[in-house]
Amino acid sequence: MMKGNINLLIFLLAFLGFIACKDKKISNNTFNENKGNSTQFLSIVESYNRFAFNLFQYSPYQTKNTIISPMSAAISLTALYNGTTNQAQEEISRVMRYYVTKDTLNKDFSYLMNLMNHYKDSGIKFSTDMSFWHEKSHKFNRVFVDIINHRYGNLFHSFDALLQNNLNVEINKWIQGISPDFIFNIGESNSLNEEEMLVLNVVTIESLWQNTFNSEQGFMANFYYDNPSESRNVPFMRKIDSLYYRSNNAMLFIELPFKDNKLSFVAIVPRFHSEFRKVENNVTYDAYKRMTYPPRKEKTHVIIPRFTFSNNFSLKQTLKGMGINSIFQDSAFPTSENRSLKIKDFHQYIEIKVDENGIDTMPVVEDVFNELLSGRVEQEVILDRPFIFFIKENRYNMILLIGRIFEPIPIV
């Protein structure tokens, strides 16, 4: 039996200034595990997690499968923070709750990226690849460039505004080194002029489950939509394990760890099929903290759908709704010779796949939810209705990805 795994590939296309940051290029600093124990760093993590939940709540796409990488958005905004105007910096500081100096902020985010790279020793891959594209005649402030190169990697790429086709070629050369199956096309309607920037952001996460699902116990069953009278037959996988579990009158919380317990898949599901909207509106960061502390493990029978989906949308209006407006306006990023640039859009393309090997040949089991389980099981969690999910880093409880599932799309 092969270990279950989760492969998540996220392409965050942000018309935001072209940040490119391969994990191997992030910061030249030696990783120091004790760095993250300071009160100041934990305060940054707290602010970041609040931003993650706010970004999710402001997302306008609330009637379909959705996934967002707040970590990538935060890294992009923090990098841009170093080179924008005072008004834009004030907006980013207010939304991100930044109450430290720029130097401290850049050091802390550099540490976060190095922390993810450090987990590769456990077979976990979390990388954020970004690029800053701008018209070649623009020259950024030298201090801004030095900070980016030192803390975030070599992010700057230039293009000739008269050769938009060449821009597509160069972008796709970069993308192919990260995700060969994805092709980006800027298109005529989205072409960049001399006063605009483009940010392309590609995030990849791969990890094995800590304990495998039993591939022989896969089955087909109904997944119910917001309206319980509507459903779709989809593949499910199941296991019995000692898992972190919480519940209240409205919702159930379950956490499934990945290899070495460095990352986890967390799901919050309403008790009743028709209560998803109510539950979603009440899933704030403070509510999340109450659900996760103190931790308590129980022997749990967990049943989750095997699914894949992708979504492609702009975060520009989401960020503006949160109060970050100036980076999308003229003169947001001063450059040489009294010129400036603005961000055109913040676009996100995301693919996610959650599965366990061998489930393709699963048998159909009728009335499986009512079958008797062997052994004593304290709890049962069945994700057979719309639910919210997170991928989180466990040392600092940081949210790396956050999304909602309305309709699991079977993996072909």
Highest mean pLDDT among 15-29, 182-196, 213-227, 364-378: 213-227
Q: What is the mean pLDDT of residues 110-124?
A: 79
Q: Comparing 34-38, 40-44, 286-290, 373-377, which segment has the lowest mean pLDDT?
A: 373-377
| Closest C-alpha to 52, from 343, 255, 256, 322 | 322
How confident is residue 387, by pLDDT bands cut at 50, 70 and 90? Answer: very high
pLDDT at 372: 36
Q: Which CATH class is domain 215-306+375-405?
A: mainly beta
Choice between 359 and 81, residue whose per-residue pLDDT is larger: 81
pLDDT beyond 90 at 205: no
Highest mean pLDDT among 65-69, 85-89, 172-176: 85-89
| Residue 153: φ, ψ to 5° | 110, 180
| pTM assigned to the model | 0.84
pLDDT beyond 70 at 226: yes
| Closest C-alpha to 68, from 317, 404, 316 | 404
pLDDT at 364: 34
Note the pLDDT tens digit of each residue in 3-28: 455 554 444 444 444 434 444 344 44
pLDDT at 374: 46
Choice between 358 and 65, residue whose per-residue pLDDT is larger: 65
Helix (H) or strand (E) holding 117: helix 102-118
Please give the Cα distance from 310 to 181 (Å, whole number).
13
Choice between 323 and 216, residue whose per-residue pLDDT is larger: 323
Other C-beta atoms lying within 10 Å of the C-beta of residue 233: 10
Choice between 74 and 192, residue whose per-residue pLDDT is larger: 74
Please give the Cα distance from 390 to 401 (Å, whole number).
5
How confident is residue 136, by pLDDT bands cut at 50, 70 and 90? Answer: confident
Highest mean pLDDT among 81-90, 111-120, 295-304, 340-349: 81-90
AA identity, residue 238: R
| Closest C-alpha to 44, from 102, 96, 80, 92 | 96
Q: Comparing 7-11, 128-132, 203-207, which segment has the lowest mean pLDDT?
A: 7-11
pLDDT beyond 50 at 92: yes
pLDDT at 225: 84
Domain ranges for the chain, please list them.
5-208+309-352, 215-306+375-405
| Residue 404: φ, ψ to 5° | -135, 145
pLDDT beyond 90 at 67: no
pLDDT at 74: 93
Torsion-angle region of 288 (φ positive above 0: left; ψ -120 to 50: alpha; else: beta): alpha
Q: Are 167 and 159 in contact (CB under 8 A)?
A: yes
Domain 5-208+309-352 and domain 215-306+375-405 have a common topology? no
Helix (H) or strand (E) holding 147: helix 142-151
pLDDT beyond 90 at 160: no
- CATH T-level topology, domain 5-208+309-352: Antithrombin; Chain I, domain 2 (3.30.497)
Report the relative pairing of strands 125-135 and 196-208 from DSSP bridges.
antiparallel
| Tokens linked to 312 | 């492609």
pLDDT beyond 50 at 369: no
Name residue 269's beta-bridge partners: 252
